[in-house]
Amino acid sequence: MMEEDFYASIKLVSGEEIFGRVFASEEKNKTILIISEPIVIAEIRTKYGFAYKVEPWMKTTTDDIFVIDMDSVITMTENNDVEIISIHQKFIKQKQKHKNSSDFGMNHFKLTKEMGYISNVNQAKEILEKIYNNL
């Protein structure tokens, strides 16, 4: 039997705290949670105050739906915080926008020095070899 869906903050036994739209279901006398687009939210202090860093819970898959056994949950609370729900919805829209506009599901961005890109491996190897040989 499927219950109504709701937004929830979930603390897992692993220590992770995730947020997403949750459907609770009874399967063979066990409660399982079906979580849509779970995210991890971190509050970051900036010089202007606080900001939120939002990341997908599972970074190595493009799946959107995950099943968690209640045995893996320490606590869960329905979350009706409009700001957090809005952050979740914006994240999903942005993720979908990138998914639709990218080649083969991969995002291709030109990296810059401002992003931390200095050189590729071959260029770095050449530079380091020149420095070593001039010693």
**Which pTM does this prediction carry?**
0.67
Residue 104: which pLDDT band, with cuts at 50, 70 and 90?
very low
Q: Domain segments of the chain: what residues? A: 6-107
φ, ψ of residue 51 to 5 degrees: the values are -140, 165
The domain over range 6-107 is classified in CATH as 2.30.30.100: yes
Q: Answer for the pair 44, 51: CB distance below 8 angstroms, yes or no.
A: yes
**pLDDT tens profile 49-95:** 888 889 999 988 888 999 999 999 999 999 999 989 998 999 998 88
Q: In the Cβ-directed half-sphere of 63, how many Cα atoms lie within 13 Å? A: 9
Q: Tell me if residue 114 falls in helix, strand or coil.
A: helix
Which amino acid is located at 66 in the chain? F
Q: Tell me if residue 118 falls in helix, strand or coil.
A: coil
